[in-house]
Amino acid sequence: MAMKVLRSDAARSRERILEVACAHDRGDLRLNEIAREAGVGVGTVYRHFPTVHALVEALSMTTIERMVELSRRSLADPDAGSAFSSYLRTALELQLEDGGLQVVLLSDADESPDVRAAKQEILHSFDALLRRAQQAGAVRDDLTAERLSHLICGIEHAVRLGSADDREPLLQILLNGLRPEVARS
Amino acid sequence: MAMKVLRSDAARSRERILEVACAHDRGDLRLNEIAREAGVGVGTVYRHFPTVHALVEALSMTTIERMVELSRRSLADPDAGSAFSSYLRTALELQLEDGGLQVVLLSDADESPDVRAAKQEILHSFDALLRRAQQAGAVRDDLTAERLSHLICGIEHAVRLGSADDREPLLQILLNGLRPEVARS
Amino acid sequence: MAMKVLRSDAARSRERILEVACAHDRGDLRLNEIAREAGVGVGTVYRHFPTVHALVEALSMTTIERMVELSRRSLADPDAGSAFSSYLRTALELQLEDGGLQVVLLSDADESPDVRAAKQEILHSFDALLRRAQQAGAVRDDLTAERLSHLICGIEHAVRLGSADDREPLLQILLNGLRPEVARS
Amino acid sequence: MAMKVLRSDAARSRERILEVACAHDRGDLRLNEIAREAGVGVGTVYRHFPTVHALVEALSMTTIERMVELSRRSLADPDAGSAFSSYLRTALELQLEDGGLQVVLLSDADESPDVRAAKQEILHSFDALLRRAQQAGAVRDDLTAERLSHLICGIEHAVRLGSADDREPLLQILLNGLRPEVARS
DNA sequence: CATGAATGAGGATTCATTCAT
DNA sequence: GATGAATGAATCCTCATTCAT
């Protein structure tokens, strides 16, 4: 990944800003406030992050990278079914950990090329994982990667409405629901 | 339901405001703007709806009443399983129709006593519906009414992220996931 | 005193309003609030008290009448010195009891003719009291009734800044200061 | 006194605001109006003076400094009695000149540390002045610095109710009243 | 590059007063 | 007469964004 080298003071500012910002609600970032808390001028924040979305992306960058890693690992797993379900589980965990991830993943207005590239890799891998699982008969066929992503976001939403303890139970319901319907006596 | 009778002019203002307001994003209601569009003074809006939440509640009142009706009808249905699933389907439809319903249902700060009462009836009925379905073996046991409500909200969220066409497929996945797990050969 | 006879319901409204209003800070009367608390319409408040000042006057009417009484009694007291000082003491007490009295007394825009008449009587009596005391050598000569009224208001102000316990001590200082200066060895 | 150096433009805005504000009634400062008159944005006013009280304090800063000077000078005066009375006279003059001073002095919610410090020095000095005068037998003993401050505020109030000409006469009455009572033949 | 002062549109809210019912 | 709905000017305050220093 291309990485512009920053002057050390600029790098420090950037870090300070991210450090401070991640303690804030992603949906309600006040640039002035962050600047003040970070001990830098507002202008500096704008220099590093021209839009709020750019800052949100940057805050999610680490998680996105972890998601890329996850994709690769899952694709390398020979068991299509378990690769798929453990991918979903971990993706859900990551989205719950990082409150800004959902909007970054869903946005189609990426500011950073790195983010765009990573998201594409994630999407492609996810698509492949899903297809493999479908071909293995572990997942119902009437399902696209996009719908499924939305469903994960829906589960994330549901967990946030309740407590973190709901995560695994709700995930189980989802996984159960994704299996091809079986004939019942 | 106790209903204070409004003077005709007051009733007209109230209707104008609701009419105008329902064309706005429920999560972003600007009282001044609504007043202007409705052709009434700001004060009039505040008189009828002291807080934004009061307005949001009023906007959802009709849908909430329909949900109460739905609850009663479903409870009257002797088939526990189909009553349950058709309740979920219609509830989801209502939530999707009425973009403000979710927050009203989830809020624990009801402004209107009517809303509070209706929500309680809905919740109790839903609880009963769920239990009946569980006893009939149609729904897994490890599930509370609250978690399930959150799940519906999650599905609503997922559908909104995509298109209205996703509603039935995603609902099917949910319903499928709610069934007790069966041993598979 | 001419007294318009009010219809009994009007009289009741008037009383309710006064009753409620006297529990409010005189300098910050909100007509709408008072109407609500009194269980009458705003219009009714306006009918009885066309201006805020009219209400303030009405609230002080009882105290003003007591002050008129006080003036008469003091004038009847043959001891000019003690009549004067006990007048000041009681006047101060009345002003402290009735937080709206000072503005009513100082205002030159009386709404009610009764108030105007009462204030004139008070002023004349006070003037007479002062002169008598001066002639008796109990009070310094370089002092007008107006200045002295202002001084009472000043003492009232000072007591309000502290506690009610300051009343007598501060009054003593005033009385002491009003005596003709004596040669000191 | 620690004084943050302001950028020249900021200093200019601040001065403009103070200049404009001091022409307004201290008890009724409308921030928007001041901004408009000063030719700056509202935000600028709020930046310099987060609360109305901060602005009021700033408007009185010069007078407060003069009062500090006065305290020091008075303490340096070897004649306890005349130091005391001339202090009172000048303090009264300052309060009359600066219509916002009284509230700043009486407030216990200082915004600026400079103001807080200055007020404390003033209070301590005043306390010392009073004690000295009491020990010298020039002032009655039953009097605290606080009550006396309130009394000055009372006299200020009284003068404002009348004309500036009342100042010296009323001060004389106060000073006369503060002297220990003497036995009279 | 960094700074942070300035901007000012925008949204919330209140309350004195009027007037139709 | 009483009512209280309606009005809307007025005020408060915030915050995204720009730009001079």
**Residues B63-79 pLDDT 10s:** 999 999 999 999 999 99
pLDDT in tens, B37-54: 999 999 999 999 999 999
Low-confidence winner among B51-55, B122-126, C2-6, D24-28 (lowest mean pLDDT):
C2-6
What's the CA B44/C1' F9 distance, rounded, in angstroms?
Answer: 14
Query: Could A157 and B159 be called an inter-chain contact, meaning their C-beta atoms sit closer than 8 Å?
Result: no
C50 pLDDT above the threshold of 60? yes
Q: What is the pLDDT of residue C7?
A: 63
Going by pLDDT thresholds of 50, 70 and 90, the confidence category of residue B4 is low
pTM: 0.87
d(CA B177, CA A145): 18
Chain D residue whose CA is closest to C181: D176
Which candidate, A141, A146, A143, A148, places its Cα nearest to that of A180?
A141
CA-based nearest distance D182→chain C, Å: 9
Residue D171 beta carbon within 7 A of nucleic strand F: no
What's the CA D157/C1' E21 distance, rounded, in angstroms?
Answer: 49
Q: How far is CA D177 from CA C173, C179, D131, in A?
A: 5, 8, 17
CA-based nearest distance C40→chain D, Å: 31
CATH superfamily placement of domain A53-178: Tetracycline Repressor, domain 2 (1.10.357.10)
d(CA B19, CA B23): 7
What is the per-residue DSSP string for B92-126? Answer: HHHHHH-TTHHHHHH-S--S-HHHHHHHHHHHHHH
Domain A9-50 and domain A53-178 have a common topology: no
Q: Between residues C182 and B11, which one has the greater pLDDT?
A: B11
Closest protein residue to F19 using CA and C1' atoms?
A43
Instruction: Name residues whose C-beta falls within 8 Å of residue C97's C-beta, 6 or more positions apart in sequence.
Output: C63
pLDDT in tens, D169-181: 999 999 999 999 7
d(CA A158, CA B147): 8
Chain E: nucleotides below 7 Å from protein CB are 1-21
Query: Could A166 and B173 be called an inter-chain contact, meaning their C-beta atoms sit closer than 8 Å?
Result: no
Nearest Cβ partner for C161 among D150, D170, D173: D150
Nearest Cβ partner for A142 among B169, B179, B184: B169
Q: What is the pLDDT of residue B7?
A: 72
Query: Could B174 and A177 be called an inter-chain contact, meaning their C-beta atoms sit closer than 8 Å?
Result: yes
pLDDT in tens, A62-101: 999 999 999 999 999 999 999 999 999 999 999 999 999 9
User: HSE (CB half, 13 Å, CA atoms) of C155?
Assistant: 30
Mean pLDDT on D105-126: 96
- The nucleotide whose C1' lies nearest the CA of C30 is E15
What's the CA B46/C1' E13 distance, rounded, in angstroms?
Answer: 9
Mean pLDDT on C147-170: 98
Chain A residue whose CA is closest to B156: A154
With beta carbons less than 8 A apart as the criterion, state whether B48 and B13 touch: yes
Chain B residue whose CA is closest to A185: B182
End-to-end CA distance of chain A: 55
What's the CA D166/C1' E13 distance, rounded, in angstroms?
Answer: 43
CATH 1.20.1440 fits D9-50, yes or no: no
Question: What tokens were used for B164?
Answer: 């209205």
Which residues in chain D are contacts of C175 at CB distance < 8 A? 177
Q: What is the pLDDT of residue A8?
A: 73
Query: Could A175 and B177 be called an inter-chain contact, meaning their C-beta atoms sit closer than 8 Å?
Result: yes
Q: What is the pLDDT of residue C44?
A: 94
Chain C residue whose CA is closest to D163: C147
Spell out, as residue ranges, where chain A has pLDDT lower than 70.
1-7, 182-185
What's the CA B119/C1' F2 distance, rounded, in angstroms?
Answer: 38
B141 pLDDT above the threshold of 60? yes
Helix D145-161 / helix D80-97 crossing angle, nearest 10 deg: 50
Helix A80-97 / helix A145-161 crossing angle, nearest 10 deg: 50
Neighbours of chain A (3+ CB pairs under 8 A): B
What is the count of residue pairs from A and B with beta carbons less than 8 Å apart?
Answer: 93
**Domain boundaries defined on chain B:** 9-50, 53-178
Which residues in chain A are contacts of B153 at CB distance < 8 A? 157-158, 161
CA-based nearest distance C153→chain D, Å: 6
pLDDT in tens, C4-23: 555 678 888 999 999 999 99
d(CA C161, CA C7): 43
CA-based nearest distance B81→chain A, Å: 14
Q: What is the 3-state secondary structure (H, E, C) of chain D?
A: CCCCCCCHHHHHHHHHHHHHHCCCCHHHCCHHHHHHHHCCCHHHHHHHCCCHHHHHHHHHHHHHHHHHHHHHHHHHCCCHHHHHHHHHHHHHHHHHHCCCHHHHHHCCCCCCHHHHHHHHHHHHHHHHHHHHHHHCCCCCCCCCHHHHHHHHHHHHHHHHHCCHHHHHHHHHHHHHHHCCCCCCC
Residue in the block written with tokens 């399983």: B81
Mean pLDDT on C124-145: 96
Question: What tokens were used for D127?
Answer: 């306390």
Phi, psi of D118 (to 5 degrees): -60, -45
CA-based nearest distance B178→chain A, Å: 6
In chain D, the percentage of residues whose pLDDT exceeds 90 is 92
Chain A residue whose CA is closest to B184: A182
Instruction: Give B78: exposed, middle or buried? Use CB within 10 Å, 0-12, 13-18, 19+.
Output: exposed
Residue C44 beta carbon within 7 A of nucleic strand F: yes
Which residues in chain D are contacts of C170 at CB distance < 8 A? 147, 150-151, 154
Closest protein residue to F6 using CA and C1' atoms?
B44
